[in-house]
Chain A
Amino acid sequence: MSFKSTIAKMAGKSSYWFLHTFRSGGSSLPGKITTRLDPTILKDLGKDYDVIVITGTNGKTLTTALTVKVLRQKFDHVLTNPTGSNMEQGIVTTFLTDHKSKNGKNIAILEVDEANVIKVTQFIKPLAFVFTNIFRDQMDRYGEIYTTYQKILDGVKLAPEATIIANGDMPIFNSVKLPNPIVYYGFNNQPDGEMKADPNTDGVVCPVCQHIIHYKFISYSNQGKYYCPNCGWHRPDLTYQLTQITKLTPSLSKFFIDASNFTLHIGGLYNVYNALAAYSVGKFMGVPTSSIQKALNDPDERVFGRQEQINVDGKEVTIVLVKNPVGLNQVIDMVGTETEPFSFVGLLNANYADGIDTSWIWDGNFEKLTQMNIQQYMTGGERYKDITFRLKVAGVRDEQLWTYDNLKDAVSNIKNLPTTKVYVFATYTAMLQLRKQLTSEGYIKEGI
């Protein structure tokens, strides 16, 4: 260890101690200080770990959390970065503050933002990469899907021996030849048919001959058993496959992977993909199937808390974060599995963290809501006019719709909604404001 990196680590660790002890925070600043003093610090910090990098646009956080749970079944010491700290400095802090085991294997499961993969692989050669998916994000902040994938590949190029564990249902992950060993996971739970993706879907061009790809079946968006009718390019063989889904509600999923049954205490088909990714990493790392079952079946509130339920004067209010069209369409499908009548609340902001362009709501399939048992609609947020008109165009009638130009009124009217179940779709800053309002009114306890 060089003198420079020793000093850098000391400086980082003491700043973390200070921040952690005297303020309740400190996830990126220690990393920032350490990296400033020694830009190559990750090389030193990561050298005693088997690192697995999890990247992609949607589902990174839950996939990472589930993977950690799975691997902890077999390994004593599994390190991970806290939610949201998926850029370089947060990752440095993660290693910096770890107490690694003296003997035995140290494993690090890192959620890494797509553009930051290269910042990790410059210094650390991971054992494996996990590619969850690449969907179009709000494009005022990010590039197109091909640019995003290229960013990931720029990082992967520096680690040609690492195994890639990729979502095989996602065509883009089969579009570039790589030297790395690759294993694919995916869905194989429907009989073969013949279909194309919905026209308003991204990433459906064959990378070999530029024709529109077809599918034997589609799980959602552009994922499924794809093939090109023109040149024969097709989905690769799957090593790990989901074979059956037996139950799907907004709060529970039951399914089979490779003939073993699993229960996941969260709804949404997209979360089944996240569980399948975690399972695949578990198998890759030699975790027995029964241990993976145990890990995934655990109703762990810390893991599933992102989609939370709050009691507001007897209403069961589920708050769902929405940030891009594919995610939005997935949660629309998720509430579509609700069996009781419910009310729908849409809160839209357009601050930087939400995406400053609200156009993306028009790629959301709100028309589906009008087929559900929704008794009352409510809209709010700083861009309530946009979401209100979106719902009207979707077919929601004026008399079904309450509109509020401020969040306080929206929250105080939640208790007047006609149903017990209430689903709130909120963009990031709208969700924070909503939580703050609910906290100030005593519905959420401080600090949770």
Chain B
Amino acid sequence: MKYELNVAHLYGDLLNTYGDNGNLLALKYYAKLMDTDLDIQIVSLDEKFDPNAWDVVFFGGGQDYEQTIVSKDIQGKKDDLTDYIEDGGPMLAICGGYQLLGHYYVGADGEKIKGIGALDHYTLSQDDNRFIGDIVIKNKETGEVYHGFENHNGKTYLGKGERPLGEVESGNGNNGEDNSEGVVYKNVYGSYFHGPILTRNGELAKKILLTALKRKYPNADLSSQEQLTIKPTF
């Protein structure tokens, strides 16, 4: 392959629920169609996150117990992750990963679990209820429509400088109140979508890969990559 991207899978050995790993499989599948090899490595407990070593970061969700452990460890990676994000590094964060990029989330037993505050959102919990079901959202700026399956107790509220990934057409979204779902901040995409999101929304996979390629190979001619047509899978 002509190009190579280094992908960090944050806490991939601890946070791996709901088939989220499928996002990496889909990323690899589309990367191949874009003449790009992916080298995917897990960055986990007690390991350093080097912001210059990675071209794409994936951060999935997990069970409450594992997420509590991650919440403690990730404080040591906070500055490096923030640098990566502020520098325009592409990242996809799902569910728990999305929550942990923000200030905090409230766990099932009411305890506040600390995030890294790299993004300005926070997450509350709802009593004895989860948002579960198929969801469709539309991004008003780009016109893109995303399909997924949501399954979350958390209610996330976006902060200043954060835009939603889309507006809810059907389903609940971030909090069931303000019609928003997910987040876009610089080149970070956060969402509650399972399904997984990249297997059903190949356009988003393509967008993340193109951003990473342009960042790593600023002088390359990526027109054939840009022209890749994504066939519907859902």
Contacts and interface: CB of A to CB of B under 8 A. Distances in A.
Interface of A: 136, 139-140, 144-146, 196-197, 199-202, 204-205, 210-212, 325, 356-363, 385-386, 388-390, 392-394
A323 to B, nearest CB: 14
B45 A144 contact: no
A144 B63 contact: yes
B173 interface: no
B132 A140 contact: yes
A146 B19 contact: no
A136 B63 CA distance: 10
Interface stretch (B182-190, B193-201, B214-222): B193-201
A357 B29 CA distance: 22
Interface in B1-32: 9, 12-14, 16-22, 25-26, 28-29
A367 to B, nearest CB: 8
Q: Which of A196, A199, A211 has the most CB of B within 10 A?
A: A199
A360 B64 CA distance: 18
B36 to A, nearest CB: 15
B151 interface: yes
A390 B22 CA distance: 9
Given A200-B16, A392-B29, A393-B26, A359 B194 contact: yes
Contacts of A325: 19
Given A144-B65, A200-B12, A357 B151 contact: yes
Interface in B37-62: 42, 44-45
A325 B18 CA distance: 10
Contacts of A211: 45
B79 interface: no
A363 B19 contact: yes
Contacts of A139: 17-18, 151
Given A199-B12, A200-B16, A359 B195 contact: yes
5 contacts: A196-B13, A200-B21, A205-B69, A359-B196, A362-B19
Given A210-B69, A359-B22, A199 B63 contact: no
B21 A363 contact: yes
Interface size class of B (residues with CB under 8 A): 20 to 34
Contacts of A359: 18-20, 22, 149, 194-196
B66 interface: yes
A390 to B, nearest CB: 8
A195 B20 CA distance: 24
Interface in B66-95: 66, 69
Contacts of B42: 199
A394 B69 CA distance: 32
A112 to B, nearest CB: 24
Nearest to A210: B69
Contact of B29 (A140, A202, A212, A393): A393
A155 B191 CA distance: 37
Contacts of A204: 13
A357 B149 CA distance: 7
Contacts of B16: 199-202, 363
A212 B45 contact: yes
Contacts of A363: 16, 19, 21-22
Contacts of B132: 140, 356-357
A385 B63 contact: no
B63 A146 contact: yes
Contact of B19 (A201, A360, A385, A394): A360
Contacts of B12: 199-200
A205 B233 contact: no
A197 B16 CA distance: 13
A136 B65 contact: no
Contacts of B151: 139-140, 357
Contacts of B110: none
Given A144-B17, A200-B16, A201-B13, 9 more contacts: A144-B64, A202-B63, A325-B19, A357-B132, A359-B22, A359-B149, A385-B234, A386-B234, A393-B25
B199 A362 contact: yes
B14 A205 contact: yes
Contacts of A205: 14, 65-66, 69
A394 B64 CA distance: 30
Given A205-B69, A212-B13, A393-B25, A357 B18 contact: yes
Nearest to B17: A139
B17 to A, nearest CB: 7
Contacts of A385: 233-234
Contacts of A197: 13
B66 to A, nearest CB: 6
The 7 closest A-B pairs by CB, nearest first: A362-B22, A362-B19, A359-B19, A144-B63, A389-B233, A199-B13, A359-B194
B63 A357 contact: no
A145 B196 CA distance: 21
B133 interface: yes
B10 to A, nearest CB: 12
B85 to A, nearest CB: 23
Given A144-B64, A357-B151, A136 B17 contact: yes
Contacts of B63: 144-146, 202
A14 B200 CA distance: 53
Nearest to B63: A144
A388 B233 CA distance: 8
Nearest to A211: B45
A386 B9 CA distance: 24
A200 B20 CA distance: 9
